[in-house]
Structure 1
Amino acid sequence: MALCCAVEPGSLDATAAVAEHGAAAYLEALREPGSRSRWARRARVLDLEQVRRATRSNRLRFVIPGDDEWPDALDVLVSGEPVQQMGGLPFGLWVKGEASLAGLTERAVAIVGSRAATAYGQSVATDLAAGLGVHGVGVVSGGAYGIDAAAHCGALATATPTVAVMAGGLDSPYPPGNATLLQRIAGQGLLVSELPPGEHPTRTRFLSRNRLIAALCPATIIVEAAWRSGARNTVSWASACGRIVLAVPGPVHSAT
């Protein structure tokens, strides 16, 4: 838990150090007065008990590799190729919801796409998720506006558990406009984050979050995406993890 608080998700140098020296030794080294690591200050000022209290008060749990509900699918990140100088297995994950993370993602597909989706794209994402749900296949996405929200709604419409992997702490729903949807997801599926309560999304956190969405599922479907869309980053992660990538193009007159 301490490393997740001190180190930014997807840090290659931290991942390599933990692999070589172990988590406890690396954390101790960060706290040494002479440490010149960029994560040293965070490690020294960390109030871990406060994080634990926030975890409990928000009805979250912290899952680490080796736990029963840790998804084996994430292990591909140990040897997967970095994307934009990020990568590596998470040190742990905060989870909200009653279901097992490993259980829900065992039969699931990632559906991602543009936030500024067309009505056509949202309809396709909803129909895809609902169709998968009818066959007992869940959906993993990022909880964002547009295609993400449409995919989650499609799963919920068929009473199929869905997983939203977030880029900030689970104590503060993001985006705020999807707060009700995220609450429904937590009630019927799971919210997941590599970041502790109190942390807010940033551009790099969205990019590192995408590796979890891609790794959790054997296939990723992209529904509409502009050239610089974050959804295309998820596709890059899926390719780096050796996952299947499928695409639904947008209308020919649309930017997505």
Structure 2
Amino acid sequence: MQAGAWIEPGRDADFATRLRAVQLLKPRLVVSHRSATALWRIETLTPMAEGTLEFIDPDLTLRSGGKGVLVHRMPLDEGDVVRCEGLRVTGADRTLADLLRAGPRDEALVAVESALTWRRVGGVRRAPVTTAALVSLALEAPLRGAEGGRRRLKLADPGSGPPRRPSRACACTTRAFGPRARPNSVRPTAAAAIWTSCSEPRGWPSRSRGTPTTAHASRTAGMSPASTRYSSARRCFFSSATPPRTSSTVPR
């Protein structure tokens, strides 16, 4: 499992066992960040069961925790540490504050929204594990990224539901508008373009789009509406587009 840690033959090294092996070798390390969210049954965009193990070194001395282990060197009060499944883990509010400070934003927001509401995680329905007020209080610590973490916390929406939508949808949260439907563009037909260019076609009353005159009605009797419109548009076009007369000499 790790240099100096073995597991009995035939036993699978599950997520909790891997965490315990690291803590047995380095007792001062505290499970944190995404590894802590898995123990708190907090949903994230990336499941951590097969990912890198994350810990905090409150002594700020350890630079590497070994293969597959990420160590964060940052201060940690004893009040921020709890016991969970026999492991020393950061509290739920401190875990979320660390995610909000470190990012990425979408990952942190999904975790916050999950922690603040009732959720079913891993087949187990659990109650909210913390409150927004406690997370905000944890972000008051003078640590790197605290200001950005407070801005991200304001974007959290506990009513958003489980993280089943694509992560790019979260980007709409920071804008004043969401996705909008684009109106269909209609390209007018040639006959319609000619019709609108004629203000007073022949056979129609002046400035009227209503009933045609008697003479025009007699000529269009029995025609379909589409044929009537096309005939009127064609007559309008030729009457308005007649070329000027020119003199020509015809040989005898």
TM-score bin, normalised by smaller chain = under 0.3
User: Normalising by structure 2, what TM-score?
Assistant: 0.22
User: Normalising by structure 1, what TM-score?
Assistant: 0.21
Bigger RCO (CA 8 Å, 6+ sep): 1
